[in-house]
């Protein structure tokens, strides 16, 4: 009799294979990996499918508790946390945050099992960081934000003229450009403008402290020189909310979301929910050891943490600025036709336009290399381009300049300060800061082996109170008790010492006359200007230049030129661990209050703001919490969306021409300029006349 054992065995093996395949196919993360593999990661997949992978990851309680413990150690360095306990500036519409209570609640929720999955836990952390509305205070877990979600419907806020109330429009995108499309009346049955204002205050991703800047971040715009789709259309946090747009023409559209991989994430790195957690959510032992290994060969400098040693180069120190390499090799010279740049850095960080025979436009997109540009020689190149731009306009006897910093997210602080000195030569500028005192900082400074090798070189700081030297670190550290917390002493830079010790010294700024009079300078912004851009803009506003802001909420209210990230230094979690290791060496492990390398994978975007910035004339709170409206405010028009020149012309016309701006801060009762003089107010208070008062009330001004 013929045996059936072989056939039976084959059937068993086949059944097992089918069972395993079914199990694999039931694993959401395995399905997501498979879908991305089909397109080799180039195409997007269904958003709900991608989201199902994230919500399938169970909560690992021990890891979660350890994450909260690590967060406590890193967040002790966050400089402004006390001011969020009771936000002091109502115009910013910030939510109060009790940091310790929030972290304690997280620990309780982990222990009790209140978090349904790891996604819910990561969401709680991300929402906490989002409440600070600070691009320096960021937490983007790879387990929570590995995908970019898009709906294909970017929107803009435009008006018929720059002085009218705007409406929301869909942006029609074509292969060769885009145009403003149909007006959007409602989003999910709510007035479109009301929906977006609510989103600006409730969604965790807008990271600007000012609500008008947050509103602009939802829309199509620019960020560090790159066109962005806006958070309404493209975001890293998927809310699973069905969005329906109702157009003014009576039609409607239900938006479909897709998901793509963020950054360098490779879908081949996981094939199941378990491997997604291990390989994507957490740093491996090898990755952590590599971070420590890199720390062994790191020089701790002011602006960066490069590997190896930096060799001081004095070769350019005594040269005229016109001989900096940027003015030759780093500059692309073109004709003067607008909108073709007259001068441009190779990667677009700086562009100069000649608008007419009276006005030039200097666009500063960022203070850091763009488009993968190298940091080698960048300081000299950037500074040289500022010099070349000023000289180019001077050679043509152009007396007025518009400096456009819209979407400038910052960069190297010294470049912002150097640019200020070039526009205001021979004058000292006030850059003051302090840090939150904490035991880790004190130990690093007092027990560290070589603090002069770090950003905390004591010789580079003076007391802001009297410009005298600190006698030692104890005097610098304080602590000073104020505002419900403890801080270091407010200090200003000793610019002579900083330049003397810098590895890339710059030639001295010429001592000649100021190239442009204060009244002939316009600082133009979308409110989305922060970090080094805030330092740069603060100095210009202190000089009383004309400030113009674009866009913002459709309300008859003022708007800030600088809408956020007003702290003066960002530190990633790895920066903190690296500096602790560099200063304390092996003994760092003996201090349980000093953080080690963070074990959560965050795409390198876990950070805090180290330093608060202070204004010389107003030190009752950091600059971040001082509301400083621009002098003029304009709305975007259809033409400005497709032709940036129209924006510059409108700003120039509002300040130097006959155009009436949308909302003039100089007419606001009680608004004071930097000299302390009352800049407005009259029979109708903040309003220009009775008609303006009625118009403002009708259009939603709730501050009458």
Compute the distance between CA of residue 213 and CA of residue 628 in angstroms, rounded to an integer.
13
Residue 684 banded pLDDT, cuts 50, 70, 90: very low
pLDDT over 80 at 678, yes or no = no
Q: Give domain limits for the chain.
A: 148-261, 434-502+568-614
Average pLDDT, the chain: 83
For domain 148-261, the CATH architecture is Roll (2.30)
pLDDT in tens, 217-264: 999 988 777 788 999 999 999 987 889 999 999 999 999 999 999 988
Q: In terms of pLDDT, which residue wins out, 702 or 227?
A: 227
Residue 309 banded pLDDT, cuts 50, 70, 90: very low
Q: In this prediction, what percent of the chain has a pLDDT beyond 90?
A: 60
pLDDT at residue number 296 = 60
Compute the distance between CA of residue 678 and CA of residue 655 in angstroms, rounded to an integer.
19
Per-residue pLDDT, averaged over 300-322, amounts to 40
pLDDT at residue number 315 = 47
pLDDT at residue number 228 = 86
Q: Identify the CA nearest to 390 among candidates 426, 411, 360.
A: 360
For the chain, the C-alpha Rg in angstroms (whole number) is 27
User: Which SS3 state, helix, strand or coil, does residue 497 take?
Assistant: helix
Q: For residue 347, how many C-alpha atoms fall within 13 Å in the half-sphere facing its CB? A: 17
Compute the distance between CA of residue 321 and CA of residue 299 in angstroms, rounded to an integer.
28
Residue 302 banded pLDDT, cuts 50, 70, 90: very low
Per-residue pLDDT, averaged over 83-104, amounts to 96
pLDDT at residue number 660 = 60
pLDDT at residue number 334 = 36
Compute the distance between CA of residue 533 and CA of residue 408 in angstroms, rounded to an integer.
6
pLDDT at residue number 693 = 40
Residue 175 banded pLDDT, cuts 50, 70, 90: low
Q: Identify the CA nearest to 409 among candidates 226, 283, 604.
A: 226
> 136: part of which helix (H) or strand (E)?
none
pLDDT in tens, 639-669: 998 888 999 999 999 999 976 665 554 433 3
> 403: part of which helix (H) or strand (E)?
strand 400-404
pLDDT at residue number 306 = 28
Instruction: Give the end-to-end CA distance of the chain in Å, rounded to a whole number.
Output: 100
Residue 1 banded pLDDT, cuts 50, 70, 90: very low
Candidate from 164-178, 560-574, 638-652 with smallest mean pLDDT: 164-178
pLDDT over 60 at 587, yes or no = yes
* Contact between residue 567 and residue 609 where contact means Cβ atoms under 8 Å apart: yes
Residue 292 banded pLDDT, cuts 50, 70, 90: confident
Q: In terms of pLDDT, which residue wins out, 224 or 22?
A: 224
Per-residue pLDDT, averaged over 673-693, amounts to 34
Residue 109 banded pLDDT, cuts 50, 70, 90: very high
pLDDT at residue number 194 = 97
Per-residue pLDDT, averaged over 373-383, amounts to 84
pLDDT over 80 at 142, yes or no = yes
Residue 548 banded pLDDT, cuts 50, 70, 90: very high
Per-residue pLDDT, averaged over 431-436, amounts to 93
234: Cβ contacts below 8 Å, ≥ 6 apart = 148, 149, 150, 151, 154, 228
* Contact between residue 168 and residue 551 where contact means Cβ atoms under 8 Å apart: no
pLDDT over 80 at 429, yes or no = no
Q: In terms of pLDDT, which residue wins out, 240 or 381?
A: 381
428: Cβ contacts below 8 Å, ≥ 6 apart = 495
The rounded Cα 594 to chain-centroid distance in angstroms is: 27
* Contact between residue 231 and residue 218 where contact means Cβ atoms under 8 Å apart: yes
pLDDT at residue number 415 = 92
Residue 88 banded pLDDT, cuts 50, 70, 90: very high
pLDDT in tens, 485-509: 999 999 998 876 666 666 667 776 6
Compute the distance between CA of residue 603 and CA of residue 140 in angstroms, rounded to an integer.
7
Written as one string, the DSSP assignment of 577-617 is HHHHHHHHGGGGGG-TTS-----B--TT-EEEEEEEEEBTT
Q: What is the DSSP pairing of strand 234-235 with strand 147-150?
A: antiparallel
Residue 176 banded pLDDT, cuts 50, 70, 90: low
**What is the pTM (predicted TM-score) of this model?**
0.86
Q: In terms of pLDDT, which residue wins out, 642 or 596?
A: 596
Whole-angstrom CA distances from 29 to 21, 89, 122 are 14, 44, 17
pLDDT over 90 at 186, yes or no = yes
pLDDT over 90 at 478, yes or no = yes
Q: Where are the alpha helices (DSSP H) in 139-191?
A: none
Three-state SS sequence of 227-281: EECCCCCEECCCCCCCCEEEECCCCEEECCCEEEECCCCCHHHCCCHHHHHHHHH
pLDDT at residue number 277 = 98
Q: How many CB atoms lie under 10 A from the CB of residue 237?
A: 17
């Amino acid at each position: 009799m013929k045996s059936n054992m072989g056939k039976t065995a084959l059937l068993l093996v086949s059944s097992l294979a089918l069972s395993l395949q079914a199990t694999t196919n039931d694993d959401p993360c395995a399905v997501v990996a498979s879908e991305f593999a089909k397109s080799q990661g180039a195409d997007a997949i269904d958003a709900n499918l991608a989201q199902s992978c994230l919500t399938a990851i169970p909560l690992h309680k021990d890891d979660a508790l350890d994450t909260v413990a690590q967060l406590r150690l890193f967040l002790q360095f966050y400089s402004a946390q006390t001011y969020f306990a009771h936000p002091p500036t109502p115009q910013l519409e910030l939510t109060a945050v009790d940091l310790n209570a929030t972290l304690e609640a997280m620990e309780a929720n982990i222990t009790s099992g209140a978090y349904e999955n790891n996604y819910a836990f990561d969401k709680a952390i991300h929402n906490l960081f989002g409440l600070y509305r600070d691009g320096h205070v960021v937490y983007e877990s790879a387990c929570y934000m590995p995908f970019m979600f898009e709906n294909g419907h970017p929107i803009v806020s435009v008006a018929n003229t720059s002085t009218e109330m705007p409406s929301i429009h869909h942006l029609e995108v074509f292969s060769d450009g885009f145009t403003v499309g149909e007006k959007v009346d409602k989003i999910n049955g709510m007035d479109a403008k009301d929906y977006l204002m609510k989103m600006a205050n409730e969604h965790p991703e807008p990271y600007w402290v000012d609500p008008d800047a947050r509103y602009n971040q939802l829309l199509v715009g620019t960020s560090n020189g790159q066109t962005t789709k806006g958070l309404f259309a493209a975001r890293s946090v998927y809310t699973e909310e069905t969005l329906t747009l109702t157009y003014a023409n009576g039609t409607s559209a239900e938006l479909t979301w897709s998901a793509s991989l963020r950054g360098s994430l490779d879908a081949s790195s996981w094939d199941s929910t378990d491997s997604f957690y291990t390989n994507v959510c957490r740093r491996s032992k090898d990755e952590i050891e590599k971070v420590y290994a890199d720390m062994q060969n790191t020089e701790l400098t002011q602006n960066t943490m490069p590997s190896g040693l930096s060799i001081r180069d004095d070769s350019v120190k005594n040269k005229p600025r016109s001989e900096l390499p940027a003015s030759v090799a780093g500059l692309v010279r073109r004709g003067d036709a607008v909108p073709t740049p007259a001068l441009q850095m190779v990667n677009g960080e700086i562009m100069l336009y000649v608008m007419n025979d009276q006005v030039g436009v200097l666009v500063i997109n960022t203070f850091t290399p763009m488009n993968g540009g190298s940091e080698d020689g960048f300081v000299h190149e950037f500074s040289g381009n500022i010099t070349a731009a000023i000289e180019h306009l001077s050679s043509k006897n152009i007396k007025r300049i518009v400096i456009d910093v819209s979407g400038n997210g910052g960069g190297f602080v010294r470049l912002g300060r150097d640019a200020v000195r070039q526009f205001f030569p021979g004058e000292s500028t006030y850059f003051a800061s302090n840090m939150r005192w904490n035991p880790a900082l004190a130990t690093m400074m007092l027990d560290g082996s070589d603090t002069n090798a770090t950003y905390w070189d004591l010789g580079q700081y003076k007391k802001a109170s009297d410009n005298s030297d600190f006698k030692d670190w104890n005097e610098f550290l304080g602590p000073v008790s104020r505002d419900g917390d403890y801080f270091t002493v407010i200090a200003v830079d000793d610019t002579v010492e900083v330049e003397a010790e810098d590895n890339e010294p710059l030639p001295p700024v010429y001592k000649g006359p100021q190239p442009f009079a204060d009244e002939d300078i316009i600082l133009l912004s979308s409110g989305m200007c922060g970090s080094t851009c805030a330092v740069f803009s603060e100095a210009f506003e202190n000089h009383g230049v004309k400030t113009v802001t674009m866009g913002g909420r459709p309300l008859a209210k003022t708007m800030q030129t600088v809408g956020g990230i007003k702290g003066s230094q960002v530190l990633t979690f790895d920066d903190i661990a690296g500096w602790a290791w560099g200063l304390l060496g092996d003994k760092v492990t003996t201090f349980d209050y000093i953080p080690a390398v963070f074990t959560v994978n965050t795409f390198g975007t876990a950070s805090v703001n180290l330093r608060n910035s202070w204004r010389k004339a107003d030190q009752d709170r950091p600059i971040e919490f001082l509301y400083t409206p621009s002098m003029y405010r304009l709305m975007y028009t259809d033409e400005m969306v497709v032709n940036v020149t129209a924006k510059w012309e409108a700003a120039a016309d509002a300040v130097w021409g006959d155009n009436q701006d949308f909302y003039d801060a100089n007419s606001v009762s009680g608004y004071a300029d930097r000299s302390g003089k009352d800049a407005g107010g009259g029979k109708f208070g903040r309003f220009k006349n009775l008609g303006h008062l009625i118009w403002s009330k009708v259009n939603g001004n709730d501050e009458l």
